[in-house]
Amino acid sequence: MQVTRRKFFKICAGGMAGTSAAMLGFTPSTALAAPRQYKLLRAKETRNTCTYCAVGCGMLMYSLGDGAKNARAKLFHIEGDPDHPVSRGSLCPKGAGAVDFVNSPNRLKYPEYRAPGSDKWVRMSWDEALHRIAKLLKEDRDANFQEKNAEGTTVNRWITTGMLCASAASNETCLLTHKWGRALGMVVLDNQGSTCHGPTVTSLGPSFGRGAMTNHWVDIKNANVVVAMGANPAEAHPVGFKWVVEAKKQNNAKLLVVDPRFNRTAAVSDFYAAIRAGSDIAFLLGVIRYLLANDKIQHEYVKHYTNASFLVDEGFKFEDGLFSGYDETTRSYDKATWRYQFEVNGEPKRDLTLQDPRCVINLLREHVERYTPEMVETITGVKQKDFQYFCETVGATAAPDKTTSFLYALGWTQHSVGTQNIRSMAMIQLLLGNIGMAGGGVNALRGHSNVQGATDLGLYPHTLPAYLKLPQEKHRTLEEYLSSVTPKQIGEGQVNYWKNTPKFMVSLLKTFYGDNATKDNEFGFQYLPKWDIRYDPYRYMDMMNHGKVNGYICQGFNPVASFPDKNRVVSALSKLKFLVICDPIETATSNFWQNHGEMNDVNPADIQTEVFRLPTTCFAEEDGSIANSGRWLQWHWKASEPPAEAKPDVDILSELREILLEMYHKEGGVGLESFEAMQWNYANPLEPKADELAKENNGYALEDLYDTNGNLIARKGELLSTFAHLRDDGSTAAGCWIFTGQWTEKGNQMANRDNSDPSGLGNTLGWSFAWPANRRVLYNRASADLSGKPWDKKRQLVKWNGKNWNYVDVADFGNAPPNTKTAPFIMQPDGVGGIFGLNRIGDGPFPEHYEPLESPIGTNPLHPNVISNPVARILENDKDTFGKADEFPYVATTYSLTEHFHCWTGQSLLNVIAQPEQFAEIGEDLAKEKGIQVGDYVKIWSKRGYIKAVAVVTKRLRTLDINGKKVHTIGLPVHWSFSTVGKKGFVTNTLTPRVGDANTQTPEYKTFLVNIEKVGA
């Protein structure tokens, strides 16, 4: 039986969950012709969660090996879990091919070492590798650890070695990694969130109170309108996209897509508009103008549940592209006027008639008046009739019984205005009354399987777990710190739940330092490292390039492929004394010193960095939990043994810690007290187990706990059931307070598998555990009016029962009865949704259209004197790396393909077969202009470097008329590198600039300038 390549892919599509290239081989005819026994007989079935995107699909894994002493379980088959409420048995091509990732020929099996100047790897024993790494760590720490700063403040920090942490690692690994790094005084802990969804936190936090997806995947089915903007879920989150399809089929929902490229989501949409990359804010503020001008707002919701009626300080203004308080020298704002007006008694001034000109809503009305349909078309390229249709369709959901669900991802975050892209949408949803509603919300579609969890666990240079702030050096005492970071209540009767920061912080310190944290020593506060400046990836790479960084640890992170300006990243790594790679697979970063011709043109002999490559387990080889986009903490179980000598990350870090402590006790050194103070009370300190770490995240009662009436609520040593039991007196511990309730005295709540849905709204409260407190739709008290009457009876989520509001969902609210002053947004100091962002955002309390740093038109039609974001940080050494349109006339934008996941799947044979070669998409007009045909080899270059790829000439990319100029766009997938089991490719981020979101420095990958030429047929 002969099978063509086309037939081969049809076979894979029909039964991909049960296939792999390893099973099929490269001779599909043989595989199909040969009879074989039902392959799942005698196999062990294990439940797991997909390691790729943050849909969090359920997997059934099948392995051989009965667990006997000398038998190693070998994974040979993966399929979807039919019980899973989100995925319902489905897997995308990435998940279906995960068995080839687990069994990749490029899995790392043994510790390896690359000596300075060498051109090869040498196998090394674990003992030798860990002792050598520990020696290098200690030497650098002893030489550069700062116990006190110049002012004499205790800072206990170590800057000259940093660590990139894995956002596909489990929550339990994330906690231990955080403890390990902070114990050593590391400030520079970071994760992939810095390059992807950093702006999600800085936009949704000020808007609603928490920086996470407001609803969840299944809830999308309840929408009347779904907007995909800054996201391509059919491609990047295909299994989650089934709930968009469900909304269309069952709810007759309209799917609206606005994107620079006619993508897979657009292909099944009801409406598509092509927009210029980097102009989304102009489009969205035009929508706000339409809503206000045509009275398409949910009046009672806006009046009572947002800050629309609050009066803003008289000194606040916006003129010629700048908000009040701008300092051109520092490129920053003094935000003193970005505040409310207050009554004598301290209450914020409000005008519930919404007539006062200083009302938030009237200032907004004035701010967006410039965004006429004509101006929107001039800036974005979206035709006025298309813009009008979008406005009318979305505006119709201002009706209390209608909702719009907004879906976004990296198409919004990866801009110099990323935070404000999302803010614009958040403001629209508040005006429409769609926050807290089933089928509504602002839904961040996160990319990595546990980038939500890595963010929750605080793996950033300036944060601690559960969105607590790492202290700055200005915080000399715990009291000063708590006074500085604990928000003050604004308005009578508001919950202001962050007022409990002292309870959260002290409970975290007790988790970190245990018996070493007492009231007398500020609960160990002084052991924490304190930061001086923000060490984002660009700044740290810049420091590295200038010899100010000596060591770097990359744990499941591939910065050569992930960071902007790849050539500068390679240059920076070449300046290090040592680099440690902890990864299950080979990466471009581990091989940065190798010469791969044009793709990585370096001389190994010139690179003196010592490189260690340590093999780790992958998701299939460990127990643990990960958090999907919808904040569901899902437990998974180990399905197979790791290859050869690969170890869990927690074991590697724990062994390094033990060796370092031995060295310090034997040799002496600096900073031992703070290092030793970190609690490591595991049954085996060298092999902490996932259940121990999960319980540590959850939290314990350290003394008997009583409520205000004297009733015993938790005995000493018991696991806590709710964060409401946390105290600031040292009697409780919790590693991540928002996770409290995930593992209680009743057992592991993350392992719950009751998928029943009695309401039909998709709130499967018995499946897994969602933070916080198992709430599935955040801010759900806003789904009912002040009296408790639901805006839409069919979407009712909460209901007053005389004691609380729990109903279809766990109420995201306290116990205030109906018709009280307590507003629904309980994490906000004022209790309301933030249309006006106050002083919580770096580049303005309202969004404003600013051009990308590399603009194809070279001006801003709204204010030519302020073209790009005035507070976007530009490092001095990067100023000569930005291009202009006269030399680089075309816009480039990056994106993902459904068959691949970043560069990981370059190590998975099935995925490489499905999408084998690097390509670039160009529109027909540009192709004609440049003489390029389908299949031609093209060179694409920016001010920073070049790549080569096969040209795909397509109608999917249109030429747009922007401010009187024709603008062409080139589409660049991001999945190739010189480290792969398939055909090598160029790193797309060779082209991208080192500038990013003004609040988070998340890179501007979605719009930058390039040139293109044909270099071969």
pLDDT, position 5: 44
| Mean pLDDT of the region 440-464 | 95
| Mean pLDDT of the region 549-576 | 97
Structural domains in the chain, sorted by start: 5-102 (2.20.25.90), 214-310+372-445 (3.40.228.10), 876-1016 (2.40.40.20)
CA dist., res. 593 & res. 573, Å (int): 9
The answer to whether the beta carbons of residues 486 and 502 sit under 8 Å apart is yes
pLDDT, position 73: 80
DSSP state of 498: G
Q: Mean pLDDT, the chain, as a whole number? A: 94
Residue 924 tokens read as 């027909």
Backbone torsions φ then ψ of 124, nearest 5 degrees = -140, 150
Q: Could you give the count of Cα atoms lying within 13 Å of 697 in the half-sphere of its Cβ?
A: 35
- What Rg, from alpha-carbon coordinates, does the chain have? 27
| Mean pLDDT of the region 504-508 | 98
pLDDT, position 206: 97
Point out the least confidently predicted range of 57-66, 69-78, 313-322.
69-78
The answer to whether the beta carbons of residues 328 and 866 sit under 8 Å apart is no
Residue 394 tokens read as 């979305």
pLDDT tens profile 110-130 = 999 999 999 999 999 999 999
| Mean pLDDT of the region 795-810 | 97
| Mean pLDDT of the region 759-785 | 98
Other beta carbons less than 10 A from residue 6's beta carbon = 8
Q: Could you give the count of Cα atoms lying within 13 Å of 22 in the half-sphere of its Cβ?
A: 19
| Mean pLDDT of the region 827-838 | 98
pLDDT, position 701: 98
- pLDDT above 90 for 70: no
CA dist., res. 115 & res. 120, Å (int): 8
pLDDT, position 25: 37
Phi-psi region of 312 (alpha: psi -120 to 50; beta: other; left: phi over 0): beta
- pLDDT above 60 for 588: yes
Other beta carbons less than 10 A from residue 251's beta carbon = 17
pLDDT, position 3: 45
pLDDT tens profile 419-443 = 999 999 999 999 999 999 999 999 9
Tally DSSP H helices, then E strands, for the chain: 28, 40
> What is the maximum span of the chain, computed from C-alpha positions, in angstroms?
87
The answer to whether the beta carbons of residues 812 and 780 sit under 8 Å apart is yes
| Secondary element (H or E) of residue 732 | strand 732-733
| Mean pLDDT of the region 828-851 | 97
| Mean pLDDT of the region 156-165 | 98
| Secondary element (H or E) of residue 695 | helix 690-698
CA distances, 379 to each of 227, 284, 376, 833, 967 (Å): 20, 12, 5, 29, 11
Q: What percent of the chain has pLDDT over 70?
A: 96
| Secondary element (H or E) of residue 189 | strand 189-191
pLDDT, position 904: 78
Provide the sign of the torsion angle of the four alpha carbons 986, 990, 996, 1001, taken in this order: positive
Strand pairing of 404-408 and 225-229? parallel
CA dist., res. 490 & res. 270, Å (int): 43
- pLDDT above 70 for 8: no
pLDDT, position 21: 39
CA dist., res. 1008 & res. 278, Å (int): 9
The answer to whether the beta carbons of residues 300 and 398 sit under 8 Å apart is no
